[in-house]
Amino acid sequence: MRNGWDDDRLLAALSEAMKAREAVPSWFIETGKNAFAWHNIDAELAQLTYDSNEDRREAAVTRSETALIRSLTFTSAHLSLELEVTGNSLLGQLLPPGTGTLEIHTRAGEISTTEVDEIGRFAVDPIPDSPFRLRCRTVDGTDVLTGWITILGVRLAGGRVAVGIVRLPGPQHR
């Protein structure tokens, strides 16, 4: 025993220190999550500005057949993403056109990447089964991020696919 510290007292002090290290306060964890939520704050947010499903509702009175392609447009101050949902593929084009990289972010934290060609075209195949968002970075430095969306595909008779878009509420930067 040295300076009043026997083995049992030393082990008890070490055990207490380890427990204190493991017991991270909930406010500290929340602060860390909030700080991480700002990691993509430089990206412009692109809002859903067009959904062909809205046109279909208006035209339902005059047409008896619905289109198989679902069109969506996400717009920010510097870039628009025009999308077509067909089956399990998402085809898109940037306006103004240009090369870049498109990232597909899922809520689970998975990120996949596809290239955008010189006329702004890209494809996402297959479409993620879970909520996702698109982040586009062009060679001129434009950085755009869409809100969270889920695309639900439902097979109909004759092999057609009905597509539903569900926008998720919540903070845009998470």
Q: Are residues 101 and 20 in the same domain?
A: no
Residue 17 lies in a domain: yes
Please tell me the distance from the alpha carbon of residue 77 to that of residue 79, in angstroms, as a whole number. 6
18 and 50 together in one domain: no
For residue 59, the model assigns a pLDDT of 53
- Could you tell me if 81 and 135 lie in one domain? yes
Residues 59, 19 share a domain: no
50 in the same domain as 20: no
Omega before 131 cis (within 30°)? no
Residues 16 and 98 reside in one and the same domain: no
The CATH number for 85's domain is 2.60.40.10
- 126: domain range? 44-167
Confidence at residue 116, expressed as pLDDT on a 0 to 100 scale:
97
pLDDT by residue, tens only, the chain of 174 residues:
567 778 888 888 888 888 877 777 777 777 777 666 555 566 788 889 988 877 655 555 555 455 567 889 999 999 999 999 887 889 999 999 999 999 999 988 899 999 999 999 999 999 998 889 999 999 999 999 998 888 876 545 555 555 555 554 444 444
Residue 122's nearest CA partner among 141, 135, 131 is 135
Contact call for residues 102 and 136 (beta carbons, < 8 A): yes
Does a structural domain hold residue 18? yes
- 22 shares its domain with 54: no
Which pTM value belongs to this model?
0.65
- The residues near 84 (Cβ < 8 Å, ≥ 6 apart) are 69, 70, 71, 72, 90, 91, 92
Q: How many domains is the chain partitioned into structurally?
A: 2
Taken in order 95, 100, 102, 103, the sign of the CA dihedral is negative
Question: CA–CA separation, 146 vs 140, rounded Å?
Answer: 19
Identify whether residues 56 and 96 lie together within a single domain: yes
